[in-house]
Structure 1
Amino acid sequence: MMFAYRATPLGLEKLPPETLGAGDLTDALWVDLLSPQSAQVAAVEAMGVNVPTLADMQEIEVSNRLYREGDTEVLTIVLPGLDKHKTPSFGPVAFLITPERLFTVRYHTPRPFETFADHAAQSSAGFGGRRRLFMGLIEEIVARLADLMEGVGEALDQQSHVAFRDPKPRGDELADALRALGRQSEQVAKYRHALLTIERALSNFGLGLEEKGDKALREILKAQVRDCQALTVHSDFLAGRIAQLTDVTLGLINLEQSDTSRILSVVAVLFLPPTLVASVYGMNFPFIPGLESPHGYLIATALMIGSALGTYLFCKWKKWL
Structure 2
Amino acid sequence: MISAYTTEQGKLRALADPIGECALALWIDLKAPTPEEEVALDKAFGLDIPTREEMEEIEVSSRLYLESGAAYATALVLSRTDTDAATVSPVTFILSDRRFITVRYEDPRAFSVFAARGAKSGIGGDSPDLALAGVLEAIVERLADVLERTTREIDAISRRIFQAPGRKPTRTDDFQKVLVELGRKGDFASNIRDSLVTLSRAVGFMIFYADQRAKEDRDLKCDKEFKARLKSVSRDLSSLTDHVTFVADKITFLLDATLGMVNIEQNQIIKIFSIAAAAFLPPTLIASVYGMNFEHMPELKEPLAYPIVVGLMILSAVMPLSWFKKKGWW
Determine which of 254, 258, 263 is the counterpart of 2:263. Answer: 254
Mean Cα displacement is larger for which, 52-61 or 28-37?
28-37
Distance 2:203 2:307 in 1: 89
How does 1:56-71 map onto structure 2 within 5 Å? 56-71=54-69
Name which of 209, 216, 219 aligns with 2:228.
219
Q: 1:46 to 1:209 in 2, by over 3 A?
A: same
Q: In structure 1, how many angstroms separate the alpha carbons of the residues matched to 2:20 and 2:128?
A: 20
Partner of 1:174: 175
Looking at structure 2, the residues matched to 120 and 250 of structure 1 have their Cα atoms a distance apart, in angstroms, of 49
**Would the aligned equivalents of 1:12 and 1:120 in 2 still touch at CA under 8 Å?**
yes
1:82 aligns with 2:80: yes
Pairwise CA distance, 1:33: 1.4
1:15 corresponds to: 15
- 1:132 matched residue in structure 2: 130
| Deviation digits for residues 227-282 of structure 1 (CA, Å, limit 9, x no counterpart) | 11111111122122222222222222221111111111111212211211111111
**Amino acid aligned to 1:181:** L
Gaps of 5+ in 1: none
Q: For 1:247-286, list aligned pairs within 5 A.
A: 247-286=256-295
Match of 2:3 in 1: 3
CA–CA distance in 2 between the matches of 1:275 and 1:316?
Answer: 21
Aligned twin of 1:193: 194
Over the matched positions of the two proteins, sequence identity in percent amounts to: 37
Give 3-state SS (helix, strand or coil) of 1:284's partner.
coil
Scaled by the length of structure 1, the TM-score of the pair is 0.91
* 1:34 has 2:31 as partner: yes
Q: 1:104 aligns with which of 102, 123, 132?
A: 102
Alignment of 1:120 with 2:121, yes or no, is no
Matched, 1:310 2:314: no
Q: CA deviation at 1:307?
A: 1.4
Letter in 2 for 1:42: V
TM-score in terms of structure 2 length: 0.89
Residue 248 of structure 2 aligns to which amino acid in structure 1? A
Q: 1:45 aligns with which of 39, 42, 45?
A: 42
Q: Aligned residues, how many? A: 317
CA distance in 2, matches of 1:156, 1:87: 18
User: 2:226 matched to 1:228?
Assistant: no
Residue of structure 1 equivalent to 2:217: none
Kept in 2: contact 1:127–1:136 (CA 8 A): no
Deviations 1:56-77 (A, max 9, x none): 1111111110011112211100
Would the aligned equivalents of 2:75 and 2:198 in 1 still touch at CA under 8 Å?
A: yes
Q: 2: distance between equivalents of 1:259 and 1:124?
A: 64
Matched, 1:243 2:241: no
The CA deviation string for residues 149-205 of structure 1, in whole angstroms up to 9 with x for no partner, is 101110121012112213342222222222222222222222122111111111111
The one-letter amino acid paired with 1:176 is: K
Aligned partner letter, 1:58: E
Q: Which residue identity is paired with 1:204? A: F
Shift of 1:294: 4.6
Q: Which amino acid aligns with 1:34?
A: K
**Matched residue, 1:151:** 149
Letter in structure 2 aligned against 1:35? A
Q: Which deviates more from structure 2 when the two are superposed, residues 223-232 or residues 178-187? A: 178-187
The one-letter code matched in structure 1 to 2:13 is E
**86 and 40 in structure 1: CA distance in 2 versus 1, 3 angstrom threshold:** farther
